[in-house]
Each structure stands twice: as C-alpha cells, then as structure tokens.
Amino acid sequence: MFGSSPVTVVITSETDTWDIDASSCLGCGQFVDWDRMPDPEQQARVPRDILSKPPKELKKLAREGYWAARHALRAQIYHQLIQQVACRLVTPDALVYRDVASRLFGKLSVSSHPLPEFLEACSMPTYCLNLEGVTALKKILICVGNLFPDITYCPILPSLVALLLHYSEDEAQCFENISRLIASNAPHTSYIDQSFLAHQASCMTFGDLANKHCPAAHKLIASTSENVFEVYSEWLSWLFHDLPFNYAIRVFDVYLLEGQKVLYRIALALLKQYRLSVTSVELERTDIKADLQAFVQNIAEHVTVEKLLERAFGIRLFSRKEIWLLQMANRKALMERGITMVQSRQSFYLAVDIQNFSSSIVTAQEMRIIWSWIPERFSLFPPLLLFSTSEDGCSLQRFYTCCEGYEPTVLLIKTTEGEVCGAFLSSDWSERKKSGVTSGFFGTGECFVFTVRPETERYEWVFIKKPELAKAVPRSRHRSPSPSPTSFLSSSPDGRGSSSNRLTVPTLQRKGRLSPFLAVRHFLLPSKTASMFMAGSQEGIIIGGGGGQALSLDANLLWGHTEHCETFDNPPLCQENFKVQLLEVWGFQNT
C-alpha cells in the first residue's frame, strides 16, 4: 500500500529496489516476468487486416478475445487504438517523457523519488512485472504527477500503467499512451477519473446501476451491510486490482475500445455471479466487502473469462449519454455536500443513520430497505418528514403546500387493512402548475412504486428492465406531448372521479439546469402511455399511468385505488380499493 504521507516511497520485497535507472528502456515484453505469467489462451485465427477493421467490427473482435494469445499483435493494437483517442491539443508525448525523465532522474544515475500525492493510500498490483518493469512503473507515475498537476486522486492509474507496460516498447511509449487516456476529451466518454469527486461520483453511479440491474445482489448486500455504498466503492478495484491478470487484460481490451461504460457492465456481471454463488445464511456473519474481494480474486473457480464477458454484454444498460447525466447528477450532489475537485480524499458516509429514523408507518429496518432503492446522490442527505396525515390532517392542499420545493420525495401509505405501499417521486410537486390551471404527467424514469407489507417489492419504470425498447431521441427531434388520461381518479371508491379534468404536459426543462437522468424526452418510446410517472390536480394525485393507475388518491387523502399500469408494469400494490389509515411524505434535507 502507498503510505499516508506524500513523501512515502513504496517498499517492495528485500530483493527489489525502487532505485531509478533512467536507461531502463527495454523492448516490448521485456518488463514482464514471464515465469509468473499465466499460460497463454488458445490461439485464435486473426484476420490479416485486423488493424484496418471498422470500430464496430473491432469491438466485436475485442469482446471475443481475438488477440488474447498474440502478445505482439495486442501491443500493436493497443498503441493504434490509443493514438485514435480524441484528447486535448496539448498532451505530453514520448519526447516530453524522455526530457522530463532525464531532468527528474538524471542520466544513468540512481535516485529515489516520492510517489505523487494523488496516489496516497492507493494499492498497486504489478501484474507479473519484473524488477525493471516495477521501476519503470514508478518512474511513469512520478512523471504523470509532474506533468498533470490537476490530478488529485486516481487509484486506478497504477493498474492501468502496469497493464500497458506489458505491451509497450519502452517507458516513453507507455507514458504517451497513458497520457492520452488521461487527456481524453471525447463527449460523454471517460477513461480515467482524476479527482476524489469524480471517483466518488463513479462509485455512486455504479451503486445506482447495481440497484437497477442487480436487484437480487443489491437486496442481499443491503440486508447484510451497514453501508452499501462502502461495498460499491470498491467496484473499480474488483476489475483492476482483484481480477487475475488473464481476466484483467481481457477487460482492458474492451475498455480501450468502449470506455468506462464497459467497466460498469463487467462489474455488474461480477456482482450477479457473486449472488449466484452465495446464500443469505452464509453472509449473516460475513464481512461482505472482504468476501466480494476474495470472490473476485478467485473468479476462475466460478466462471471463465469468456462467460463473464458474455454475461456482461448481455446486460442492457442505457446510453452513454444517460450514464453521463447520472454521473453529473451524482457529482453535483457531492459538491453540495462539500466535496471539491481539488481535495485528495475525505472520509464520509453516504448511508443515513436509520436507527434514528422514526415513522408511524414503517420500521427502521423497512425504511433501510426502501432507502437502499433510492438513487445514491439523494442518500447523501438525511430524511426529513414533510407531511403526515396524523399531524397535518387529510388535506390535499396542505399536502401540496408542505411538499412543494422538495425534490425528490418518498410517499408512504398505510391502509386500514395494515398493508403498506408507496412511491419514490423524482420531481417537485410544483411541476403540476407549469401548464397553468391544470397539469399533466411529469417526473422522470427514476420514479418507482413499491410494496412493504405484506411483501417487500419494487416496481421500476418498464424501460429500466427493457431499455432496448427505448431508442435515443435524435438531437434535431423534439418530443410531442404525452397523452392525457381520460379521467382523473375515475375509479375512486366513491365514484366521484371527474372526467373533465384533462391533463396536459408541462415544460420539464428549466433554463440553465442540467438535463435530468432518464428524462422522457431523451427517448423515442414505442408507447407514450408507458411514461406517465406522476400527476396532480385539486381533485387528487396519480402515480403511474397507462392502462391503469399504480396509485391514485382523492382530494381528502382518505380513499385510494391501485391497479396495473404500463409505466411500472406493476400488480395492484395492495387491496385495489383501499382506505388510508396513515400517509407520510419524506423529503431530503439540503436538496
């Protein structure tokens, strides 16, 4: 491990040394201790013109491991791919490295230098590098610290440099290639997070994706770990620290072609595989963070690298732009919490202290499960009770007055039959007034409905489960308005639902505001009735629409109705026609 002080030098075994020899520029593969390397994979037939293949075909070849057994070919492909990465105009190259290395270390001299401060407390796998390779690794990291002063935290960097050294002609070429990845400026694409803020935002984004795409694993971790985020904060280490070399290098193959999005896929596949291999009983007294690390380190006992990648690419994630929007939203939330670009590291907990949580509807343990479903950026902030029928009375107007100005909110309902259900609502209830007197459906794809008693279950936007059904909207195309429901609360128990209260769609975008994650206008949906998230008028509220309403409440907040709807593809959340015993709305402080 790197020490906690900026002047600490890494200590290896007694037979190794960190003395720097500026003349250590060896041929491709000469940085590798071949005796420690795993056996090469079975030789594959590689097309002669592989380097001239279009990106889509090259991506397919990388996923299938076509150059996994050819060291020289992989070295050639790596260099060509990285040279094609769009990056900043002024990016240090091999010539700059030779000049800086000569000045820093001196020709043919032996000296010791501290590692960059941005590597403080970071671990460093060497991936079967020999002594010359380990020395070269340190030299490159020191030069990166010298030439990229804006980097403040970058735990993934040592692993990437170590992997590149396997396929570099010399230190200078390795430095130039890693510099291009650092300086990449392609839109909505990222290779290397370079600050604690960006790193934490990526960890939060992975937590959000795990919540959506690995619900079984997420539920298991949430029920056995005090801090779910602390477990997910290790996701990059699973890939570029814990995975064995022959797995990590295959990850690196596709990473160079597809960017950070592919890392999310593979880490999610690892999480899914982990869930298949353990039981809840086994984890009751287990440190799940350490158990996951051990699982990844011994992944060969559970799944081949080919099968792991196959499962990873079977996970249908949203577009690169949508993931970027989520990352930016998480970054904004961290900055509101006080995390900055320049700080190197900060210890803080994202989990809310559920033990101090008090509700008249759900227990602390039940709220802990609900909280684990909420997007990571909101779990930064403690819950705040905004409205309760037991304290504020059964008034819809009072409901709006108390809830407006808060985004998002959690709605909890307890029926007179003892059933408990609710919804996570991503948008401010004041959005209902954007179109004038009447209002339409609003909200985003982060909304979901859930049941707590008698069963605990969550029902998300239908396109979370089937993102392939929703295509990205071309930039030049504008969305048409969503349809209005034919009636508002038309199926309320007392039969007084009004068919005259037509709903129109408000303008969701505020000038100068970051476009929200999973906004409907980003997608070309086959059915507009599958994007009805939330709506409100003076006669009641609706959550979920299209073929039915997931939840609807009357103006007195006394009677409600639940049924299947297209937006969430949910069954009735409780008895279809129900009477409300208690209703609470929770917001998030400082949001």
H or E segment to which residue 534 belongs: strand 534-537
Q: How far is CA 469 from the centre of its chain?
A: 21
Determine if residue 489 is left, alpha or beta; phi over 0 gives left, psi from -120 to 50 gives alpha, anything else beta.
Answer: left
**Preceding peptide of 454 cis, ω within 30°:** yes
Dihedral angle at the C-alpha atoms of 401, 402, 404, 408, nearest 10 degrees? -160
Residue 448, classed as helix, strand or coil, is strand
Extract the residue ranges of the chain whose pLDDT is less than 50.
Answer: 1-26, 108-110, 345-351, 436-439, 473-515, 591
What are the Cα distances from residue 552, in Å, to 59, 122, 373?
A: 47, 51, 22
End-to-end CA distance of the chain: 37
Q: Helices in 233-319 by DSSP H: which ranges?
A: 235-237, 245-258, 260-277, 280-283, 288-297, 305-312
DSSP secondary structure letter of residue 480: P
Helical packing angle, 71-83 and 245-258, nearest 10°: 30
Per domain, the residue ranges of the chain are 34-183, 197-244+253-337, 364-467+517-588
What are the Cα distances from residue 83, in Å, to 63, 551, 562?
A: 20, 54, 56
**Preceding peptide of 408 cis, ω within 30°:** yes
Q: Are 118 and 153 in contact (CB under 8 A)?
A: yes
Burial (Cβ within 10 Å: 0-12, 13-18, ≥19) of residue 290: exposed
Give the per-residue pLDDT at 259: 87
What are the Cα distances from residue 226, in Å, to 112, 219, 221, 222, 352?
A: 42, 12, 9, 7, 10
Q: Which residues of 243-257 are buried (b: 16+ CB within 10 A; e: fewer)?
A: bebebbbbbbbbbbb
- Of 376, 422, 426, the residue nearest 406 (C-alpha): 426
The 10s digit of each residue's pLDDT in 299-341 is 999 999 999 999 999 988 877 888 888 888 888 888 877 776 5
Residue 415: beta bridge partners?
A: 580
**Secondary structure percentages of the chain, helix, strand, coil, to 5:** 40, 10, 45
Give the per-residue pLDDT at 375: 86
Phi, psi of 85 (to 5 degrees): -70, 130
Q: How many CA atoms lie within 13 A of 44 on its CB side?
A: 18
* Cα 486 from Cα 546, distance rounded (Å): 10
* Cα 219 from Cα 228, distance rounded (Å): 10
DSSP secondary structure letter of residue 520: G
Give the per-residue pLDDT at 546: 87
The 10s digit of each residue's pLDDT in 204-260 is 999 999 988 998 888 888 877 778 888 999 999 999 999 999 999 999 999 998 888
Q: Are 409 and 430 in contact (CB under 8 A)?
A: no
Residue found by looking up tokens 């022959």 in the block: 246
Q: Are 559 and 492 in contact (CB under 8 A)?
A: yes
* Cα 41 from Cα 247, distance rounded (Å): 11
Q: What is the pTM of this model?
A: 0.75
Q: Are 462 and 529 in contact (CB under 8 A)?
A: no
What are the Cα distances from residue 501, in Å, to 439, 440, 481?
A: 9, 10, 17
Phi, psi of 554 (to 5 degrees): -85, 180
* Cα 260 from Cα 267, distance rounded (Å): 11
**Complete DSSP assignment for 349-377:** --S--GGG---SSS-HHHHHHHHHHS-TT
Q: Are 478 and 468 in contact (CB under 8 A)?
A: no
State the CB neighbour count (10 A cutoff) for residue 449: 26
Q: How many CA atoms lie within 13 A of 31 on its CB side?
A: 28
Pairing of strands 559-561, 577-588: antiparallel
Burial (Cβ within 10 Å: 0-12, 13-18, ≥19) of residue 487: middle
Domain 197-244+253-337, second-level architecture: Orthogonal Bundle (1.10)
